[in-house]
Amino acid sequence: MLKFIIVDDEPLAHDIIEEFCSMIPHVQLVGHCYSALEALQFLNSEQMDFMFLDINMPKLSGLDFLRTLSKPPKVIITSAYKEYALEGYELNVVDYLLKPIPFDRLVKAVNKITEQQESPIIKTEILPSSGSERFFVKGDKKYHQIETNAILFIEAYGNYTKLYLQDEVILSHEKISHYEHQLSEQHFLRVHKSFIVAIDKIRLIEGNRIFIKNHKIPIGQTYKSLVNKLLEK
């Protein structure tokens, strides 16, 4: 769960952002700050993953406030003025949203935050008997502990992924590229831009399809050579 605050002197802006974020399952609103000084005091006592930050506020602007922070959380700027965008990006903000904020743009900005966070997958134990690795996957507001030898295949699902196991499917908050780097190349193979398969779970390869149990998985043209190398072993 990603924790965030809203820093804006307009109550209506708080209401809109809060309403939109209530529809995003993996973020949690922790506090409302109506000035930069109030936010400064809040961040001195609480650690946040990110914040929505307005620019035009009394006494201390959002960008000047950001410059005072030695270790700021990730920042999504919310402003009615586009002329500050370049200055905002020079301060390494994640995104710059123009008011009135469309819901789809806010979701896109939050997805950028999610992608930049440290991996929620935590390797915890190697099983000497099976050589399988256990790890935790964050999904559906829970942490699921799974074993790598329980994975049949992984499917890209937008900014998320579906992990197909022996007896269930888990929706993960990670992109498929994360698993491509995390999982052993000896046991898993990327066969399509949207699919990674467990090599030992392959039942049949026919044409441009891989069969795992009752599932039919396409082989992408750019990944065909990798599958061919597998057949040569």
Which pLDDT does position 158 carry in this prediction? 83
- Cα angle for residues 109, 110, 111 (degrees, 5° grid): 90
- Same domain for 80 and 18: yes
pLDDT, tens digit (0-9, with 9 covering 90-100), for 34-91: 999 999 999 999 999 999 999 999 999 999 999 999 899 999 999 999 898 888 888 9
> CB count, 10 Å around CB of 74?
21
Question: Of 116, 149, 176, which one is at a domain's C-terminal end?
Answer: 116
For the chain, what is the domain count? Answer: 2
Residue 114's pLDDT is 86
Task: Give the pLDDT mean for 150-167.
Answer: 91
Q: Considering the chain, what is the average pLDDT of its residues? A: 88
Q: What does the pLDDT read at residue 130? A: 41
Instruction: Look up the CATH number of the domain holding residue 190.
Output: 2.40.50.1020
- pLDDT of 119 > 60? The answer is no
Give CA torsion, residues 220, 226, 231, 233, to 10 deg: -170
DSSP secondary structure letters along 122-176: -EEEE-TTT--EEEEEEETTEEEEEEGGGEEEEEEETTEEEEEESS-EEEESS-H
Q: Are 78 and 54 in contact (CB under 8 A)?
A: yes
Mean pLDDT of 199-208: 94
Last residue of a domain, one of 68, 84, 116: 116
Q: Per-residue pLDDT for 126 more than 50?
A: no
- Is there a single domain that holds both residue 211 and residue 146? yes
pLDDT tier for residue 116 given thresholds of 50, 70 and 90: confident
Instruction: Report the C-alpha gap between 190 and 18 in whole angstroms.
Output: 39
Residue 131 has pLDDT above 50, yes or no: no
Per-residue confidence (pLDDT) for residue 132, from 0 to 100: 55
Is it the case that residue 156 has pLDDT exceeding 80?
Answer: yes
CA-nearest of 172, 170, 152, 153 to 161 is 172
Are 214 and 167 contained in the same domain? yes
Residues forming a β-bridge with 135: 123, 146
Taking the CA atoms of the chain, what radius of gyration do you get in angstroms?
22
Are residues 110 and 127 located together in one domain of the fold?
no
Phi-psi region of 158 (alpha: psi -120 to 50; beta: other; left: phi over 0): left
Percent of the chain with pLDDT over 90: 61
* Residue 159 pLDDT: 80
One domain, residues 145 and 227: yes
Summarize pLDDT for 16-38 with one digit per residue, the tens: 999 999 999 889 999 999 999 99
pTM score, two decimals? Answer: 0.53
Tell me, yes or no, whether 146 and 96 share the same domain: no
CATH number at residue 60: 3.40.50.2300
Domain of residue 184 covers 123-232
The mean pLDDT value for 184-209 works out to 93
pLDDT average, residue stretch 152-176: 90
Domain endpoint, select from 116, 150, 179: 116
The whole-angstrom separation of Cα 138 and Cα 189 is: 22
Res. 94: pLDDT tops 80 = yes
Q: What is the pLDDT of residue 233?
A: 61
Cβ neighbours of 168 (radius 10 Å) = 10
Does residue 127 sit in the same domain as residue 83? no
